[in-house]
Structure 1
Amino acid sequence: MKSVDVNDEMEETLVLSLGSIIGGSTLANKPWDDAITDLTNRIEEARRGVEAPLNLNVVFQAPGNILKPEFAGVRTGRFSKSRALLMVQVAVPEEVPSDPIIYLKNAIHAAIDEAGRWATRRKVTIDVSKLRYIVERA
């Protein structure tokens, strides 16, 4: 499992970070794993020097031979107030599309939308434009 622990106060908080839970490595989900790794590297480069009022950790859950996501789409996870870090989880389908990077970028935009809805429910004003900017640059 590769993800940021929102409870770990010692770890550097990144404006946008990606993680993944691969439910068992298979040939069928290897393209997901590869695409997530590639996009993680792109995000690392694109986020340099960017700060936002809400930090977002997007964790992709890919089905495998051991574990499958218990949900579809996106859902909010934990929030660390001290780090202004929200985790949003994204379940990816078993079938990998022809361009998984485009799919994942669209999924990050959906996660950003979910973060916006989360903030609205808590009557917190956030500007997610910097998060979208990072995704577009990646």
Structure 2
Amino acid sequence: MSWKPLYIGAVEGGPTPHPGKLTAGLQEIGRLVDAQPWEHSEDETAIDLVFHIPGSLLKPEYEGIRTGSLWRKRCIMQVQVAVPEELGAEEHDAIVRWYARKLVDAVELARTTLPRRKDALPVVQAATISSLATAGLV
């Protein structure tokens, strides 16, 4: 995996009652993020944002947002977001807005958490990218 300031991914817990709706909303946010400009940097920490989507086999064992691992060598911090099961019943635009809010919240959590970790570099471009990508959605 080559470095970039903000990665977005998902862990799906199997089939859902609303197949495709949660994935489609996340893919739209991913496209908005990928469309933003950025430059390679060795002076900042990237965010690996992982959405845990509940399914029939696995459901997140937590609610909300939490920080995960910090890989100092690769300058990447993982942030995890539990997607509520009931979100799948919403319309596409509401799902996209929910993902947009959680993207901004997750980047802010990483930005404020990193200074407390020893030798961690700051979050810079990921904060800008999340703001630009979600403009008008949050």
Q: Which residue of 1 aligns with 2:98?
A: 103
Match of 1:37 among 18, 27, 37: 27
Q: How many residues align?
A: 127
Q: 3-state DSSP class of the match of 1:106?
A: helix
Shift of 1:134: 1.0
TM-score normalised to the size of structure 2?
0.80
Match of 1:79 among 51, 66, 70: 70
Shift of 1:56: 0.4
Task: Map 1:59-70 onto structure 2 (within 5 A).
Answer: 59-70=50-61
Q: Which residue of 2 aligns with 1:3?
A: none
User: Is the contact between residue 53 and residue 59 of structure 2 (CA under 8 Å) also seen in structure 1?
Assistant: yes
After the TM superposition, which parts of structure 1 deviate over 3 Å for at least 4 consecutive aligned residues? Answer: 47-52
Match of 2:122 among 126, 129, 132: 126
Residues 92 and 47 of structure 1: CA distance in aligned 2, closer, same or farther (over 3 Å): farther
Shift of 1:29: 4.9
Compare the two structures and name the one with the higher helix fraction. 2
RMSD: 2.1
TM-score normalised to the size of structure 1?
0.80
Residues 65 and 135 of structure 1: CA distance in aligned 2, closer, same or farther (over 3 Å): same
User: Is the contact between residue 15 and residue 47 of structure 1 (CA under 8 Å) also seen in structure 2?
Assistant: no
Q: Which residue of 1 aligns with 2:85?
A: 94
Unaligned stretches of 5+ residues in structure 1: 1-10
Q: What is the percent sequence identity of the aligned residues?
A: 27
Unaligned stretches of 5+ residues in structure 2: 134-138
